[in-house]
Amino acid sequence: MSHSVKEQLSFLRSQIQARSFSDATLRFLESLLVSKDVKSLIEVRSSLTQLLRSESLSVIRSVAAKTVLDKLLTLEFFVRAFALVGDQQSCLALRYEALVLRELKSASCKWLQVSPVEWLNFVEDAVRNGFHAVAEKACENVLSCLGNNDDLKTGGDIVPENLKAIINEITRLRNCAMASVASGSGISSSINYIEDSFD
């Protein structure tokens, strides 16, 4: 790896440690992935993935006592960063944590509530990328939340007309994910990526 790339990685690390979670930092990260040859691109992508995994765990633990908004902004930054470097496992793990955090806090802050469509989109992405254990856990979570939602039981205005179709699709995806997990197929997923970090 060239000296200039090492300096750029060091600068990115310093931005993350300084909690500079801006679009500018993400653009800088993206610029590091512009390479003239495949070999150096693979090397840089690997280095960035390692850096992000290491720093994300440290940062997420450090914001455990912060507000829900601070936690969500931190998670969003790392979700976008992992998506840029192509680390789908970390991206999905953090997306899941953000959805669960929102759902847990939505009792006191209704604006945080995760819609059935958001859950469905997440589950579809997890299944598409082979993360069946994450998909299964997300399906169980959303079906439980929908079953306990008073607005759904009373026919509240916020219930989408196609809710039954969404529930049926989530149930289908859950069954598909369960079958894949039981057969041992798919990618081993890190569902406990940041377990207990926000407890």
Give the C-alpha distances (Å, rounded to integers) separating 16 from 24, 25, 29, 34, 82: 12, 8, 11, 20, 13
Query: According to the model, what pLDDT value does residue 142 have?
Result: 80
CB 94 within 8 A of CB 68: no
How do the pLDDT tens digits run along the chain, 199 residues long?
677 889 999 999 999 999 999 999 999 999 999 876 788 889 999 999 999 999 999 999 999 899 999 999 999 999 999 999 999 999 999 999 999 999 889 888 888 988 888 888 999 999 888 888 888 888 888 887 776 555 444 444 445 567 788 888 888 988 888 888 887 755 544 444 444 455 5
Query: What burial letters (b/e) apply to 155-166, b meaning 16+ CB within 10 Å?
Result: eeeebeeebeeb
User: Using N-to-C axis directions, what is the helix angle for 116-128 and 132-147, rounded to 10°?
Assistant: 160
Confidence (pLDDT) at 193: 46
CA distance 25 to 12: 7
What per-residue confidence (pLDDT) applies to 136?
87
